[in-house]
Each structure stands twice: as C-alpha cells, then as structure tokens.
Amino acid sequence: MTEQKESGQLTPGLRDEPGPLGGPGQSAATPLDPDGPAKRVERLDRVIIRFAGDSGDGMQLTGDRFTSETAQLGNDISTLPNFPAEIRAPAGTLPGVSSFQVHFADYDILTPGDSPNVLVAMNPAALKANVGDLPAGATVIVNTDEFTPRNLKKVGYAANPLEDGSLDAYAVHPVALASMTIGALAVHEVSKKDAERAKNMFALGLLSWMYSRPYDSTMRFLEKKFAKRPDLVTANVAAFKAGWNYGETAEAFAVRYEIAPATMPAGDYRNITGNGALALGLVAATVRSGLPMFLGAYPITPASDILHELSKHKRFGIVTMQAEDEIAAVGAAVGASYGGSLGVTTTSGPGVALKGETISLAIMLELPLVVIDVQRAGPSTGLPTKTEQADLNMALFGRHGEAPLAVIAPRSPADCFDAAIEAARIALTYRTPVMLLSDNYVANGSEPWRLPDVADLPDLRVDFATGPNEGEKFLPYLRDPQTLARPWAVPGTPGLEHRIGGLEKADRTGDISYDPANHDHMVRIRAARIAAIPVPDVEVEDPAGAARVLVLGWGSTYGPIGAACRTLRQRGLDIAQAHLRHLSPLPANLGDVLAGYERVVIPEMNLGQLAHVIRARYLVDAIPYNQVRGLPFTAAELESMLTGVVSGVLPETYREEVVNNG
Amino acid sequence: MAEIPVKLTQKDFKSDQEVRWCPGCGDYAILAALQGFMPELGIPRERIVFVSGIGCSSRFPYYMNTYGMHSIHGRAPAIATGLSVSRPDLAVWVVTGDGDALSIGGNHLIHALRRNVNLKILLFNNRIYGLTKGQYSPTSELGKITKSTPSGSTDSPFNPVSLALGAEASFVARTIDSDRKHLQSVLRAAAEHEGSALVEIYQNCNIFNDGAFDQLKDADTRDDYLIRLEHGQPLTFGHEGQWCVARTAGGFGLEVRPTEAVAATDIVTHDVTIADPSYAFALSRLPQPDLRNTPIGVFRSAARPTYDRLVTEQIDHAVTGRNATPEDELAALLRSGDTWTIN
C-alpha cells in the first residue's frame, strides 16, 4: 500500500490530530471473531478504492455501501461511479465493466482521486480495463473464479495475468470470491445462483475488515432491501461476514488499516449525490416559497433519478408528471407556472434541445421556470453515461431570437442543493427561465453534506398580482422598477383577466404589437432584465496574494482544479483560483478579476465554450485547456498543465487551437 | 369550490382586441357562438382559461375576455395539461386546428385524450393550412391540389374523430361552424363532461379551401348527407328518412342502408355512454369521401376517471397524511438516510 497524499493539503498539523470519534474503533467495527489472530494495524491518511466488475456484479451497490460505512466514520469522501450505457452488456467483456471509486481521508478532499490504491477486480475484464490506472505498489484483489481460459480469451489475455508476472508491480491477492461465498452459504437454504450473486457482499465484507469500517448500516440496508426475501437477507449477511472473517483469518491479509475521521465543521452530515441534492433543493424551494411544485419530465440518463426522487414527495404538494416527450414535459411545467406553481423540468442535453422553443415561449411570457440539464457527453446520444460540460453554448445561446435567460452551475454534489434553491429564487423573483447546468460527474458522484437548518434557507415567498396596477387598469407587462419583472397574475384572480402569448407584446399593456420600435425596446428590456439580476461577486482563492496566473473554471471542474492548485502551492508556486457559479449573468467583478492577472487559464470538459465567452466579453487572451474524454479531469494532469503555465511555458498547442478556431 | 352565481352576457366575453380573421372566415361564427354560450356555464370569467397553439384558430384566446395563452405550435394540450392538473378549480379550454393538433401536435393530443385530462378541446378543421397560406393539412383529401402539392396530395388523411376514439377519448363530438344551434348544443355537452372533450368543428376557410363542407350546409343536400346523432334515438336520416344505420351483416362495423330494407328492430339506437369506444369508432367510419353519411353530434360521452382527479387524490392523500408542518417535514427529509454528527 502506498501512502500517497493529495499534496498541498491543509495545515500539516491538522492531519496528526486524532478525530473526535477517536478512530474506527467503534462497537460496530469490533471483529466478528474476537478470537481471531491479531493483525498489525496501520494508520493511513487517505485511501482510494475502486470496485470493478461486470455490469451485473453489483459494483455500484457495493461502492455505495462502502461509502455509507465510511461516511459513518466521519472521513471526508468523494466518489465516482462509472458504468456503461447498456443495462447488461455482454458478460465478461470490456464494454460491460462497471466500476465505483471511493476516495476517503482524514482531511478534506476535493476529488474521487486519480489513481486507486486498491482495485477489486471481479473478473478479467475488470482487471484489464482498470489496471492501467494503478500506481506501482497498489493492492489488487481479484476474484480468481472468473479467471478461466474462456474469460481470459474474451478480453484478449494471451496468458493468465495472475501467473505471467505482468502484475509484479502490485500486491496481488487472489481470492476465490465466488466459490468461497458459495461455500460459506452452503449451510443456508439458498440457491447456488443466489449464493454466487452474493459474492459482492463477500468482497465488501473483506474490504470493510481491511479498512476497519463499521457495518451496522450495511446490515440495516440489507434487511430493508430484501425485506420480502428473508433468505436473501441471510445469504447476503452471511456472505458479508464470511468476507470479513476471511480478512481476519487469512494470512495473506497481514495488515489492517485505519483512517481517522476528518476534521470538518461541526454539524450533522449525510452522504449525498448531486442528483439527490438537486431533488432535495427543489423540495426545499417549494417549502420555502409556499408554492406547489410541478415537475414535468421525460426519462433520460443521467437526470431520471431527480424525477424518481421527487415522485416520492407528494406530501409537499409536489406533482410529478412523466410526460409523453421532452416538449410536453417543459410545456406542462410552463402551464403550471402560468397557474401559479413553481414549474420545473429536468433533463439532459438532447432534452434541452427539444425544449428550446418552449423555453423561448417562457422567456416571452416572462414566467418562472427551472430547467435542469444534467449534462452528458454529446452530440446526439453521444456517451449517455459519461460526463461533459458541452451544453454551455446551448444554455447561453441555443434558442431562436434574442432569448436570454439565467444560467447557474453547481460545483460539487452537495452544492447542488444550494444551486437548486438559487435557481428557484432567480426564476421566481425575476419571472424567468433559469437553466441549471449539472453534469454526470456531479450528479452521480457523492460527498458528505452538512445538513442546513431549514429556517436558515432563503425565503422564496412571492407576491401574486391581486388588483389593478395602473389606476383602474391591470397592465400585465408593467414592470417592477427594481427587478424589471412583470406581475404574476394567475388565473382565478378576478378583474385581472388578460391574454399572453408568443407574439411580440406592446410594452406595458402586453397587447399584440408589430411596431418596430416596440420590438427593439422589448428585445432590449428582456436582455436588460437578465443582465441586471444581481449575482454575488466571484471570489478568488490566492492565499499568498502573489499569483500572476488565474485558473478560472465553472461547474464540476471545481474539485480537480482545486486539488491541482493546492499541489502547486505546496510546491511553492503561486496560483489563483476563481470558480463561476453564475454564467448568466456573469458576476459584476469578473472583468476586474481577470484584468488582475497576467495569464488566465480556463480548463473545461468541452472545446473551450467558457473561454470563448470570456475572450469575447472581456478581450482577455485566456488560455483554454480542454478535454472531452467522458471523464473528469484528474488533478495530476491539471497540476502538470498549470505548472507549465505558471513557469512561463505556455502550452502553445492550446493557443493555436483558439487562434485557428476562435 | 362553491359556485359563485354570476349573470354574464355575450358582451362580457368579448375582449377589447380587434378580431383579425379574413372577412367571411368560419372562425367568426364559432367565436360568436362560443361567446354567446359561455354565460350559460355560470362560471366567472376569471376561472376560465383558453389555451391555443399556432394557426388562424389559435388567435382565439385574444378575443375572449377570460384568461388566455396563445402558445406555440402544437403544444397547447401539453401546456393546458400542466395548468389543468395543477389548478383543478379552473375551466381550461384548448383551441386548435387540423395542422396544430394533428400534425405538429399529434403526440400531445393523443396523450391528453388517453390521460383524460379535464380539457375541452375545440379542433377547427378546415382541411387546409390557412396561416401559412394554403398548403395541404393532415385532414386534406388524398389527391388535393395545393401550393405544396401541385400534382395532388399523396398523403392519406386523418379522421380526427376516429383518431380521438382510438386514443379512448371519453368525449368526442363533431359539429359545423355555420349551425349555431347545433354548435352550442355540442359545446354545452362538452362543457358538462368531466374529462377530455374533443369537439371537431368543420370550419370553412373561404380563402384557401372555400366550400369544403358545402354539401353539409346547403339546404338541398344536407339532410341527405348528415347523420344527426341524438342519444337514445334511432339512427335514420335523409330528407324522407330513407336511410338508416345498421350493423354490418356478418361484419364488425356499421353501415348505411335503405330504411325500408331494414327491420325497425335492426336500426341502431344511438348510445353515447357505451364504455367500449368500438361502437363510436364504427360510427366515425361511415362518411364517404364525398361527405355523404357524415355523423354530427356527440359520438361518445363515457365516464372515465380523469387524470386531474387521480393526481389530485394522490396529492391530497399524501398531504392529509402529513403530521408536521412542511418545514418540519423538510427537516426530517433532509435527515433521512444515514447521518452522522461532528462536534
């Protein structure tokens, strides 16, 4: 086991302080077999584990459970699920490999980690697909039962890698996971198939022992998940315990590790995914606004989980409609907004493309609407389970006519909660569609989230129009001088009957108008009211205050950029980091911030979409750094690139790309 | 919600906007009939909403002094669904045309009907695109010569009534723009129906498809062409009652036969309440390409749970079962799952 540190972390002293829980020695982590052989215990500050297997091997569930056990211990956590688009790709093949990476530490971390310290490979395909990411010295636990000649051949292994010396750089633990699980369950009344399927719990038990995880929550989880099949509860619990006891007794596992709790701000925490946090943020928005919420959605990866979650919360007056298509989903949300609900639609890039015309209608009608785009790699179907940030252009510009709206992007899974509330706040206050750009990395990744106090959440209450606003008259397009928003007069209000629509409206009255000067005025005022939305200044992190290079990002790149900047600073290099949450309108101080640095670097998981905006808007010679591999940046590659920029070695290739294309 | 007694007149439903259809357009007659009929409903204007899509007919909401939204092409049923289900206290009407509802918006129409959303959908069918100046529509006849089909249309048309019944619409009717009395009687039945009501209105476009329904309107021909549907009445028609509707011998459907050739007991008695839409569908298949045997009136008015009601019941049930304030429920929700405390 290598003891790597995400260097540049915190103050060195912090790491040596024992955590408030005093390490993992909680009751739940007591060995199942107190008479087992004593093992050496080593303390680590952080570990990255990757569980990899076939799509049907339950790796996502295994990773989730390990994460939950780890959260109970108070470690900081960041996770990265990675799975194929196919529900069940052909068994044993490279495209069918599904993995779940979890990074946990005794200090605050920003990413799921670049290189796993431990790989659990359930079959040859999982080994082959992941071994390239391992640093020398990494631990590899393989399920030898699957290393048959046929399976090896299926993924192109000429020889068995467990025997040909190709894994000599790693600490390899061959474990007959499946047959040992079947053996352990022989005394129980479980079919061989069900017993074999419980092998992921054997692996989880082994890893839980190795890293001294408390397993109470997993026991509870299994009891709940298989409540209708007590035999499966027995099987999975027994498999878990067999794995734990195997670690305890097998001589091959000589060391047990402990990772102390991280020092984090006091409070109550839970682990949360980005999609989970978005859903809860929307629930909070409906509670804090006092408005019923209407979600129109059409199933699409990776956004469907938000629909699933919100469908459970009818007690908050939330109506969820699975519409016939993406267009109907947003249309119904606009209809509900017109009627006085908080209208929301959730989708991914292809869905936003379909919704474009209706979003433009909402811009013309000046009604609140929250559009959530959980971005995935495109265009077209692209890589539907992989991440990308390439919908920024569409969010900012992807509609007909001059159709501005507000755009915001969360930076991490937990931040999705606040971003959802902020999106609702802007939509309700300024009567505008707001696009929230999440992405697959943020949506399915998870991290600890400090639970907010409900009373401290923003007050989102709105005032509907109740009577005339000019003498005896009601003018549906008479604007509030502060917000430039028009009145929200919902049907059912006596005396305010009026008609709105997609045709250009006369200023103030909202009547149909074909007048050239009026159209010019209305186009400008629709733009002005978005531009005038007050958004917080962008903050710059530059601890020494001596940086000459600024790295600017948005959305989910916050983690890897932040981790890379920490490393640079630890190595004595100065670098400033700024991260945009509001992309439309941009923070008022952004121009001044950019002007304060000799160089600005913009890493994005697209071909330079924010960089184009920054260059056009501020005439700043920003350097784009781009990657579209369907995976988040690693901190290491950003560290390498930023080191080059800070050292004055401009990455000329990127500059040329912009000159040629921009 | 208690009904507020209101006494309104046709004038109360006229908005201050200038009506801008072509002189002679059938839409004027429909607008006047609707404005004249609305006061009968006893619903205050503020609780009535007209939602439309795009097309000549879709200008309709501007002329009604109620709440209204002129939306985008084909999407009115979707938008109206969101409004209706979130505001069951409102009376939501959709005004659409053959292009809007059956071409670009076909998907939303069939799904609104199958869900049985509480919408009254008025489909103005003039068998032509008017607003885009004269292209064929999904109800234009095969072989129709238009600007976009100079050699004749090669598309087979939809029968909107058949389509709606295929989607199991709970209320389907057909009427004609020029017959104010019939139009109003159908609108009344639609308004009284709980659930989706699709009313096809044959409407004359005197600019691009003039006279499309003349045989159904002319005093000389109409009695021999129209089958007037009245619940509980035998289906006989013709200026001398010489035609009747009978079951196809040995077949599945209905057919028109000489009355004298059919035993009185074999003449079909119209029943709008039959749960299975097959009967109404068979009726909808009677018209010939030359408009002979066109039924008008209510084809089907069957009771079926509405989407609005089912959704509202689920929400009400969940809200009633709540034992804390929304804030406390939220606090509990945020804490659900595995939590831990750091001091």
Give me the pLDDT at residue A37, please.
58
Task: Yes or no: say if A102 and A211 are a contact pair by the CB < 8 Å rule.
Answer: no
3-state SS record for A507-546:
CECCCECCCHHHHHHHHHHHHHHHHCCCCCCCCEECCCCC
Q: In whole angstroms, what is the distance from residue A306 CA to residue A295 CA?
A: 10
Contact across the interface for B82 and A321, Cβ inside 8 Å: yes
Give me the pLDDT at residue A162, please.
96
Residue A431 burial (10 A CB sphere; 0-12, 13-18, 19+): buried
For residue B251, is it within any domain? Answer: no
Q: In whole angstroms, what is the distance from residue B13 CA to residue A231 CA?
A: 68
For residue B321, is it within any domain? Answer: no
3-state SS record for A206-249:
HHHHHCCCCCHHHHHHHHHHCCCCHHHHHHHHHHHHHHHHHHHH
Give me the pLDDT at residue A27, please.
33
Of the candidates B263, B197, B186, the one whose C-alpha atom is nearest the C-alpha of residue B230 is B186
Distance from CA of B123 to the nearest CA of A (A): 19
Of the candidates B221, B163, B137, B220, the one whose C-alpha atom is nearest the C-alpha of residue B174 is B163
For residue A1, is it within any domain? Answer: no
Residue B259: C-alpha distances to residues A3, B224, B247, B267 (Å): 97, 13, 13, 8
For residue A5, is it within any domain? Answer: no
Contact across the interface for A287 and B327, Cβ inside 8 Å: yes
Give me the pLDDT at residue A658, please.
47
Chain B residue nearest residue A356, CA to CA? B72
Contact across the interface for A316 and B329, Cβ inside 8 Å: yes
For residue B340, is it within any domain? Answer: no
| Residue entry with tokens 């629509």 | A501
For residue A6, is it within any domain? Answer: no
> Do A33 and A179 belong together in one domain?
yes
Domain that holds residue B42: 10-226+290-308
Contact across the interface for B70 and A502, Cβ inside 8 Å: yes
| Residue entry with tokens 């989970």 | A276
Q: Enter the ipTM.
A: 0.97
The CATH number given to whatever domain includes residue A593 is 3.40.50.920
Question: Per-residue DSSP letters for A250-310?
Answer: -TT--EEEEEPPP---SEEEEEEEHHHHHHHHHHHHHHHHT--EEEEE---TTTHHHHHHH
What is the helix (H) or strand (E) element at residue A563, kind and residue range? helix A558-570
Angle, helix A216-225 to helix A230-249, in steps of 10 degrees: 150
Give me the pLDDT at residue A19, please.
27
Question: What end-to-end distance do the CA atoms of chain A give, in Å?
Answer: 47
Upstream peptide bond of A585 is cis (omega within 30 degrees of 0): yes
Give me the pLDDT at residue A657, please.
53
What is the helix (H) or strand (E) element at residue A337, kind and residue range? helix A326-338
Angle at the Cα of A554 (from A550 to A559), degrees rounded to 5? Answer: 85
> Do A596 and A514 belong together in one domain?
no
DSSP β-bridge partners for residue A347: A373
Task: Yes or no: say if A432 and A404 are a contact pair by the CB < 8 Å rule.
Answer: no
For residue B85, is it within any domain? Answer: yes
For residue A633, is it within any domain? Answer: yes
| Residue entry with tokens 């109506």 | A319
Give me the pLDDT at residue B6, please.
62
Task: Yes or no: say if A535 and A587 are a contact pair by the CB < 8 Å rule.
Answer: yes
Final residue belonging to a domain, choices A406, A428, A456:
A456
For residue A469, is it within any domain? Answer: yes
A-chain CB neighbours of B341 within 8 Å are 267-269
> Do A437 and A311 belong together in one domain?
yes
Of the candidates B194, B192, B186, the one whose C-alpha atom is nearest the C-alpha of residue B33 is B186
Residue ranges of E strands in chain B: 48-52, 67-70, 91-97, 119-125, 171-176, 197-202, 226-229, 236-237, 243-247, 254-258, 294-301, 339-342
Domain count, chain B: 1
B-chain CB neighbours of A72 within 8 Å are 338, 340
The CATH number given to whatever domain includes residue A334 is 3.40.50.970
User: How confident is the model over A585-622, as pLDDT tens digits?
Assistant: 999 999 999 999 999 999 999 999 999 999 999 999 99
For residue B235, is it within any domain? Answer: no
Give me the pLDDT at residue A648, please.
82
A370 DSSP 8-state letter:
E
3-state SS record for B96-122:
EEHHHHHHHCHHHHHHHHHHCCCEEEE
Domain count, chain A: 4
For residue A4, is it within any domain? Answer: no
> Do A471 and A555 belong together in one domain?
no
Of the candidates B79, B90, B341, the beta carbon closest to that of A268 is on B341
B315 touches A at CB < 8 Å: yes
Of the candidates A72, A280, A361, the beta carbon closest to that of B72 is on A361
**And the tokens for A367?**
């009604």
> Do A451 and A469 belong together in one domain?
no
A313 touches B at CB < 8 Å: yes
Give me the pLDDT at residue A651, please.
60
> Do A490 and A349 belong together in one domain?
no
Task: Flag residues of chain B having pLDDT under 70.
Answer: 1-6
DSSP β-bridge partners for residue A297: A322, A346
The CATH number given to whatever domain includes residue B152 is 3.40.50.970
Give me the pLDDT at residue A26, please.
33
> Do A337 and A223 belong together in one domain?
no
For residue B116, is it within any domain? Answer: yes
Tell me the residue type at A219.
Answer: M
B-chain CB neighbours of A215 within 8 Å are none
> Do A467 and A567 belong together in one domain?
no
Final residue belonging to a domain, choices A196, A229, A259:
A259
Angle at the Cα of A282 (from A281 to A283), degrees rounded to 5? Answer: 90
Q: What are phi and psi of A642, to 5 degrees?
A: -65, -35
For residue B328, is it within any domain? Answer: no
Domain that holds residue A415: 270-456
Contact across the interface for A358 and B72, Cβ inside 8 Å: yes
Residue A547: C-alpha distances to residues A379, A574, A611, A646 (Å): 37, 5, 20, 9
> Do A398 and A468 belong together in one domain?
no
> Which residues are CB-neighbours of B326 under 8 A, at least 6 positions away?
A287, A316
Q: In whole angstroms, what is the distance from residue A340 CA to residue A138 CA?
A: 57
Final residue belonging to a domain, choices A507, A534, A561:
A534
Task: Yes or no: say if A134 and A170 are a contact pair by the CB < 8 Å rule.
Answer: yes
Residue B11 burial (10 A CB sphere; 0-12, 13-18, 19+): exposed
Angle at the Cα of A197 (from A192 to A203), degrees rounded to 5? Answer: 120
Of the candidates A262, A167, A253, A176, the one whose C-alpha atom is nearest the C-alpha of residue A207 is A253
B333 touches A at CB < 8 Å: yes
> Do A122 and A255 belong together in one domain?
yes
> Do A360 and A247 belong together in one domain?
no
For residue A3, is it within any domain? Answer: no
Q: In whole angstroms, what is the distance from residue B245 CA to residue B255 CA?
A: 6
Q: Which of residues 196-235 of A touch B (CB under 8 A)?
A: 217
Question: Per-residue DSSP letters for A412-428?
Answer: STTHHHHHHHHHHHHHH
Question: B7: helix, coil or strand?
Answer: coil
Of the candidates A292, A453, A491, the beta carbon closest to that of B49 is on A491
DSSP β-bridge partners for residue A48: A103
Of the candidates A327, A453, A492, the beta carbon closest to that of B47 is on A492
For residue B318, is it within any domain? Answer: no
Task: Yes or no: say if B148 and B135 are a contact pair by the CB < 8 Å rule.
Answer: yes
**And the tokens for A585?**
């309108």
Task: Yes or no: say if A579 and A606 are a contact pair by the CB < 8 Å rule.
Answer: no
Contact across the interface for A338 and B326, Cβ inside 8 Å: no
> Do A476 and A618 belong together in one domain?
no
User: How confident is the model over B84-121, as pLDDT tens digits?
Assistant: 999 999 999 999 999 999 999 999 999 999 999 999 99
Task: Flag residues of chain A having pLDDT under 70.
Answer: 1-37, 650-662
